[in-house]
Amino acid sequence: MTESNPERPAKPERPAPKGLAALPVWAWVLFFAFDFVFMVFFAVTMMRSQNEQRAKADAEAEARRAKADADRHAPAEADPFSTPPAPGKYRVAAIQFVSTFGDVKGNRERLANYIREAAAHHAQIVVMPEAAVPGYMSHDLQTAWRDPVRRTNPKDGRSIEEAGVAEPVPGPTTEFFAALARELKIYLEVSLLEKAERESKTDYFNTAVLLGPDGRMRCHYRKLHPWPVGEATWAQPGDQGLGLCETEFGTLGLMICFDLSNGVPEQLKQKGATTILYPIGWVCPNAKKWFDEMLPEKARDWGVRLVGANWAITEADAEAADWQGYGCSRIILEDGTVAARAGETGDAVLYADFPMPKKP
């Protein structure tokens, strides 16, 4: 009998590890150590950066607090017009003003506040803008005043009579400001819409009145040349000639806005005016160029000083406005130097000192 001894099958060999699995243990330990160190370094760097930013922010905040505290305790900037003018000088003021269209009472009261401010700064002559009391036009230039008899179509503007903005001279507005001029002892130019009753009709004028320190009316001027665009619906050409007034400050002339383009400044100069009080309701494509360059050139050519008070609108209205001309009030010397200027929007009071006239 023969014995059988069959061979056992061989065990399969385990494949050799590949890739990261082939790394020895010491490499893995080194890898994780490096990663740990990197994470710690990153965290420390971020914390340091945050601390630096926080410290910088704290330092800036402390600097702002210190500046604000210093500003509160710093002496106020000297106001050059807080004291009276030097000997041999007199002071003028131009009020740039945002009128509320049609609010005669409200405009008068607000103007009175600025007039008092000007007098407190020792102004002896004060000028307000064209038609400042009733308002010259709406701030979007879409609505002008309208003579309801000569212009019956409501599309031509807002009725003067329905709004109740026209008044005689003398009348409520001149009486209101006469009392103020008398109280403050100043010369005060007042711009209003005048109503003149005739035998068979009523005329309306764009009027400027100069009141004296005693409250008396020294000059009653009706605009000789109404602006054809904004005033054709209501204003009649002036019928009382030039506006001139003899004062201790020399001969003062009065003209209103568009008069400038029709020879009035030259005529005033020929009649002896050295200073022209100039209420304005300007509309033009480049206001700053006009008031900073062109108007000073004209003042130099005429050889007169101009106290120019222009109408203004609010900053909010200016953002929506598609026109220019508001603001930029200027006081200009006879050599063309701009002595005082206002911005394009909002109310402002400008001052300048002029030399007293030489005694003959």
CB atoms within 10 A of CB 156: 18
Q: Residue 68's pLDDT band (boundaries 50, 70, 90)?
A: low
In this prediction, residue 312 has a pLDDT band, given cuts at 50, 70 and 90, of very high
User: Which residue, chain included where needed, has tokens 């000192």?
Assistant: 353
Q: What is the pLDDT of residue 266?
A: 97
Average pLDDT of every residue of the chain: 89
Specify the range with the lowest mean pLDDT, choosing from 20-29, 100-109, 334-343.
Answer: 20-29
Mean pLDDT along residues 263-290: 93
Alpha carbons 215 and 185: distance in angstroms, whole number: 8
Average pLDDT rounded to a whole number, residues 342-347: 94
Confidence band, pLDDT 50/70/90 cuts, at residue 198: confident
Confidence of residue 28 (pLDDT cuts 50, 70, 90): low
Q: How confident is the model at residue 5 (pLDDT cuts 50, 70, 90)?
A: low
Asked if 157 and 145 count as a contact pair (C-beta separation under 8 A), the reply is: yes
Residues 218-255: tens digit of each pLDDT: 999 999 999 999 999 999 999 999 999 999 999 999 99
The answer, yes or no, to whether residue 10 has pLDDT greater than 70, is no
Residue 1 pLDDT level (bands cut at 50, 70, 90): very low
pLDDT tens sequence across 72-124: 555 556 788 999 999 999 999 999 999 999 999 999 999 999 999 999 999 99
**Higher-confidence position of 72 and 129:** 129
pLDDT of residue 191: 98
Q: In the chain, count H helices and then E strands.
A: 9, 14
Residue-level pLDDT at 32: 73
Lowest mean per-residue pLDDT among 34-48, 79-93, 171-185, 337-351: 34-48
| Whole-angstrom distance, CA of residue 337 vs CA of residue 283 | 23
Please choose, from the candidates 99, 271, 234, the residue with its C-alpha nearest in 3D space to the C-alpha of residue 173: 99
Angle at which helices 104-120 and 172-184 cross, to 10° = 10
* pLDDT for the residue numbered 264: 97
pLDDT digits (tens, 9 = 90+) for 152-193: 999 999 999 999 999 999 999 999 999 999 999 999 999 999
